[in-house]
Amino acid sequence: MTFCSLERVVMILVEDLTIVSQREIAPRIFEMVLKGEMVADMQVGQFVHLKVPDPSKLLRRPISISEIDYDKKEATIVYRVEREGTAILSKMVAGQAIDTMGPQGNGFDISVIEAGQKALLVGGGIGVPPLVETAKQLKAKGVEVVSVIGFANKDAVILEDKLRACGEVYVTTDDGSYGIKGYVSTVIDGFDWTPDAVYSCGAPGMLKYVDSKFENHPHAYVSMEARMACGMGACYACVVHVKGESDAKNLRVCEEGPVFPTGKVIV
């Protein structure tokens, strides 16, 4: 299949975005700012599918959208270098173009909460980035934002300052080297209030906790991560099972997700 610079494929754009900047914000964690027309269509909680500029890397890399500047047509993504593909991405510099498919997936529904209400944002590790734009847009609506973010240790803490600009933030670390020792559950279980909406993204263990604690909440959401191939819902490589259904009943993280209501899928 051949793509031109900008075209629509099943309501998904394929565009060569320009790298505005890239920097390492924590060990093996990189922040990249991209510019292009695609940004106008981006929503909180969605992701982009990046093509690694190496012919030996056939699969794109799905990376969540961390911030959106509609006026500048710029979007920020934050990713962790895991293997060779993301290592190649981390070496790209400002001015280079990167083949990008997106914006993809169903993001966080922030229409369910109104000004004066209170939202709880829960993130762990590399699951924290998509919460930043979510927090910014919630704050702009007049929503009170409380974020609880967890990391392995002090060196792994990212984006705390950007979340603090939007509201109250609690930081936990597994080893107690920064913030509160423990997990996000350590903080949340101590709250004496009920959020009007919950938005979460992180490791499976953390999402299991959120899914269980807020299973019957009308406006609680988990953002799932899965290995992807096509990224357009055709290959069914990224499916998750629907709760209470047979194994044949699946939903695709790239299409029906990555965000699902709590209690909907097996986390």
Known binding residue 201? Answer is no
Residue 86 in contact with residue 61, Cβ under 8 Å? yes
Known binding residue 63? Answer is yes
CA–CA distance, 99 with 90 (Å, rounded to integer): 15
Known binding residue 235? Answer is yes
Known binding residue 62? Answer is yes
Known binding residue 86? Answer is yes
Known binding residue 85? Answer is yes
Q: Give me the sheet containing 144-151, strands edge to edge.
A: 180-181, 167-173, 144-151, 118-124, 197-201, 220-223, 259-261
Nearest to 149 by CA among 175, 133, 177, 168: 168
Known binding residue 238? Answer is yes
CA–CA distance, 198 with 147 (Å, rounded to integer): 10
Known binding residue 80? Answer is yes
Which class for 216: exposed (0-12), middle (13-18), buried (19 or more C-beta within 10 A)?
exposed
Residue type, 136: K
Phi and psi at 48, nearest 5°, equal -120, 155
CA–CA distance, 130 with 79 (Å, rounded to integer): 11
Known binding residue 4? Answer is no
Dihedral (C-alpha) 166, 61, 224, 207: value to the nearest 10 degrees?
Answer: -70
CA–CA distance, 149 with 264 (Å, rounded to integer): 23
Phi and psi at 209, nearest 5°, equal -65, -50
Q: Binding site, residues?
A: 61-64, 78-80, 85-86, 230, 235, 238, 254
Q: Binding site for FAD, residues?
A: 61-64, 78-80, 85-86
Q: Binding site for [2Fe-2S] cluster, residues?
A: 230, 235, 238, 254
